[in-house]
Structure 1
Amino acid sequence: MNKFRLNIDGKEVFGIPGQTILEVARENDIEIPTLCYDERTEIYGACGLCVVEVEGNPKLCKACATQIAPNMIVNTKTPRVIESRKTNLELLLSNHRGDCRPPCKLACPAGTDCQGYVGLIANGKYREAIELIKERIPLPGAIGRVCPHPCETACRRGLVDEPISIAWLKRFAADHDLFGEDPFMPEIAPETGKNVAVIGGGPYGLSMAYFLRRMGHEVTIYEAMPKLGGMLRYGIPEYRLPKEILDEEISLIERMGVTMIPNVKIGKDIAFETIRRDYDAVCLGIGA
């Protein structure tokens, strides 16, 4: 195949028709900065950091999106190029958060730090991973099994090959902790002297109790059914969510100091007014 001869920064190089300036430059160890370019994905050319001067073209060209031509003369470090790159970078950063929130986290209804615990698991830091997960999800073993994982639909890794198995990794971290010698117990704030009644022992009520107890409040859960768990226990089959997993996670919440009272129907076995009178606050978590 015939090759094109071109000149980049005074260096004579060769490229195959159809290649971009950036591709030829990289093959010849000529540095052109980029932010949005990845050879595994479709060319986007949004960042504007790879602009170069091409002799005969009055406009700056994006090296990632401009194909080479015979006898092309390219300059990558002229004052005009450097100033344009600086301006483009300043514009990108002017309205940009210091810590980007990734699409997986934005897609998670609980706002879980998905990329955080995936990275911790990848580095073998399982204890730190479950601590991070439980900042948002008190029942990760159960949720890791039944969550429809919208985080994976939004995962940018899918642009390259396939999404990371975020829900399975959450489940792994939860099981590793749950059946280890020393399951993670969150730090509880100093006692506030306030007591809270949570009506409903499903995932919503259990989650409320978990976070309220972490804040130092005394918490009591009232549940109408014989066992706590709500839809997780009575609506999801055993093969999908083993009751052993659910029981262990509920047990951890109970060990935090949460009082759990099953087989009590508010308004029948105990008056709601009595609950309101005896507690500083009442939270309704009756679910569906």
Structure 2
Amino acid sequence: MTDLDGKRVVITGAARGIGLATARGAIARGARVALLDRDELELKQVVTELGAAASAFVADVTDPEGLSAAVAAAAAEFGGIDVVVANAGVAPKMATVAGTSLAEFDRVIGVNLRGVWNTVQAGLPHLGVSRGRLVVVASVYSFVNGVLGAPYAVSKAGVEALARTLRVELAVAGIGITTAYFGFVDTDLVNGTKVGDPLFEKTEKLFPRMLTKRISPDRAAKEILRAVERNRTRVVAPALWRPLDWLRGIVGPLGDTVLARAGKLRDVLVQVRAREVSSPNEP
């Protein structure tokens, strides 16, 4: 067990959503928290709300030099770092692969995958001193079909592959790693993909309600902090996703086959593709 009281925590994407909820939860457990985000105004407002245990560092995870400088500044202020949470992420609008621009693909990969890579690179020198823990936020899209959201699924599968590699590489240094796999979380990231898009809701209704049900950012944060406290290597939430994770080698291929043959999903794909052809600049 790891007691978070007195620990020094760095969180990216900390101005809102899961990052902010994790910061609140860590502070409630006695930790000092460095909140990193590219939104300076919102970050300052959040730090004012959280009080003396929180510090703000403006940084963009797509800028490796700036990110490393921010993490180093946090380490200097706190006297070290014990936990780094690579949480920052973005999501694309619903689209087929054919209808997704290279710029949109690069944007999602740049934040979700390269941003995690950059966070790892920035945090490891400090975690090596404290023999601390690295948390990377992946997604159930690491192991389920990414239809109509390929850039996001590709990025999160990459995050999982990175985390698995790090678990082996960092064992000799005594640095722990936790991979968090969340389903749908009630955040701006998730909700922003469906705003004004009737086809999103139509697609969502094709899947069992138990899988599309959203959990709160606070629930996601509790799962992350509990995993850190218990030195767990992975957390999957909500729990209904766990059997799909355990059986991914069987369920994955079967699910792909079912989706490829699903008439209602085909109808949605036709409508989405028609929209893309008529408006090639969106998303």
TM-score w.r.t. the length of structure 2 is 0.23
> By percentage of residues, which structure has more helix?
2
Say which structure, 1 or 2, has more relative contact order (CA 8 Å, 6+ apart).
2
TM-score w.r.t. the length of structure 1 is 0.23
**Larger-Rg structure:** 1
